């Protein structure tokens, strides 16, 4: 008995340990990449700091310069900036490692949504940082220099200046992610473009309030953060409408019986080497399996949609299992003579209750909660109930 328990523990613990090992490998690769970039940039750490300090140095009074009030600041401040620059430059590779770790647990339609979102979010973050450096810094420092009281020498400490610019870089980088957040909210069905347009006045006020909290206490930087956030919100609403129209087009095509157009299926045969074998799509040209969008027909766990008749039959089995639970003696007698009822006994009543809860959430127009409950069911249910859950997920993808 002890041996059996040890074997079961090994089976249950091994997947978790393998995930931890993969996470460790991904983190090590990211750290190694940042270390290599840092090693290449460190000899130029003082030059990098001078470049970042350029917008302030250009507006300092004649004869004035930056100062270091702490003993280790002349070394630690450029060191810190070089390390942050290494992370900044290596961010695409870091995001790739994160994506490669979570991608195996995503469905194909989720991969198709996440890949452009991850790429565009990194690009928008870089654009936000560049906007802060080339647009915001010159205006803010010119304003600060012009408002310096008479008799006060403007000599900024290098450590304080670094903290100031890093906070602005982070604030503008995050603020430029507004379109991504808007598209994600609409894609998940949590809101609609029309609802966002109605809430535009509140969003504008919120943008200025957020700019006040994230930027230094001056009107210029607050305004220069709030206005791009507003414009980026409008861009996010624009692309959200395109996504919504595309979903409506798929629904209309499906209603007209054009299932291929609704699903966006490409019937063009693949050119080049045969891609039908397991893992062949990832092997061709060294493509990472995390970006593999081709389903392997030989995979025994590959999702196959049920027909309407099969789905109705599965739901009937769930209802019959519930009735059998209420009348166990009659169900046992019938199971001896009816194999179909015997199969119904394999259904977990708790999973059946969750599936009914999913239907209630769909009726209440709460797709996010329904989707979360379905993911929970997929981790607990048997093959038949999991198949029902996958089909309901597919229907949610089409509806939302």
Q: What is the pLDDT of residue 195?
A: 86
Work out the angle between the directed axes of helices 219-255 and 383-399 (0-180°, nearest 10): 110
Per-residue confidence in pLDDT tens, the chain, 400 aa: 444 454 444 444 446 777 788 889 999 999 999 999 999 999 999 999 999 988 888 888 777 788 888 888 889 999 999 999 999 898 888 888 887 888 777 766 667 777 787 788 888 889 989 988 998 888 888 888 888 887 778 888 899 999 989 888 888 888 888 888 888 788 777 788 888 888 888 888 888 888 787 776 667 777 888 888 888 888 888 888 887 787 777 767 766 654 444 444 444 433 333 434 334 334 333 455 555 555 454 444 444 555 666 667 777 777 766 666 655 555 445 444 444 444 444 567 777 788 888 888 777 777 777 777 777 777 777 777 777 777 787 777 666 6
Nearest residue to 203 (alpha-carbon basis) of 222, 221, 227: 227
Query: How far is 317 from 356, CA to CA, in rounded Å?
Result: 13
CA pair distance 313, 358, nearest whole angstrom: 17
Say what the pLDDT of residue 323 is: 66
Query: DSSP letters of 157-211?
Result: BHHHHHHHHHHHHHHHHHHTTHHHHHHHHHHTTS--HHHHHHTHHHHHHHHHHHH
Residue of 28, 13, 4 lying closest to 93 (CA atoms): 28
Q: What is the pLDDT of residue 275?
A: 39
The total number of residues shown for the chain amounts to 400
The answer to whether 348 touches 381, Cβ cutoff 8 Å, is: yes
Strand, helix or coil at 67?
strand
């Amino acid at each position: 008995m002890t041996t059996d328990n040890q074997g079961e523990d090994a089976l249950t613990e091994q997947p978790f340990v393998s995930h931890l090992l993969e996470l460790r490998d991904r983190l090590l690769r990211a750290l190694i990449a940042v270390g290599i970039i840092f090693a290449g940039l460190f000899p130029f750490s003082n030059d990098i700091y001078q470049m970042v300090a350029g917008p302030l140095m250009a507006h300092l009074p004649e004869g004035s310069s930056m100062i270091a009030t702490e003993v280790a600041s002349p070394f630690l401040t450029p060191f810190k900036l070089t390390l942050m620059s290494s992370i900044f430059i290596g961010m695409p590779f870091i995001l790739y490692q994160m994506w490669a770790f979570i991608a195996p647990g995503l469905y194909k339609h989720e991969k198709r949504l996440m890949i452009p979102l991850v790429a565009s979010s990194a690009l928008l973050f870089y654009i936000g940082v560049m906007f802060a450096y080339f647009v915001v810094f010159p205006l803010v420092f010119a304003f600060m220099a012009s408002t310096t009281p008479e008799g006060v020498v403007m000599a900024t400490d290098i450590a304080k200046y670094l903290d100031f610019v890093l906070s602005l870089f982070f604030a503008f980088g995050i603020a430029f992610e507004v379109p991504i957040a808007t598209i994600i909210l609409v894609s998940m069905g949590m809101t609609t473009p029309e609802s966002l347009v109605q809430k535009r006045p509140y969003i504008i006020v919120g943008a200025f309030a957020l700019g006040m909290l994230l930027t230094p206490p001056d009107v210029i930087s607050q305004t220069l953060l709030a206005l791009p956030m507003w414009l980026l919100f409008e861009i996010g609403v624009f692309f959200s409408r395109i996504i919504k129209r595309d979903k409506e087009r798929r629904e209309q095509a499906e209603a007209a019986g054009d299932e291929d157009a609704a699903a966006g299926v490409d019937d063009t045969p693949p050119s080049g080497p045969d891609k039908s074998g397991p893992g062949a799509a990832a092997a061709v040209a060294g493509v990472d399996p995390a970006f593999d969008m081709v389903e392997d027909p030989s995979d025994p766990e590959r999702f196959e949609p049920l027909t309407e008749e099969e789905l109705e039959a599965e739901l009937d089995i769930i209802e019959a299992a519930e009735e059998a639970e209420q009348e166990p003696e009659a169900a046992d007698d019938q199971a001896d003579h009816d194999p179909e009822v015997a199969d119904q006994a394999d259904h977990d009543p708790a999973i059946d209750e969750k599936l009914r809860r999913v239907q209630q959430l769909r009726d209440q127009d709460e797709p996010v909660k329904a989707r979360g409950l379905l993911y929970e069911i997929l981790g607990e249910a048997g093959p038949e109930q999991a198949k029902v859950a996958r089909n309901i997920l597919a229907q949610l993808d089409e509806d939302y």
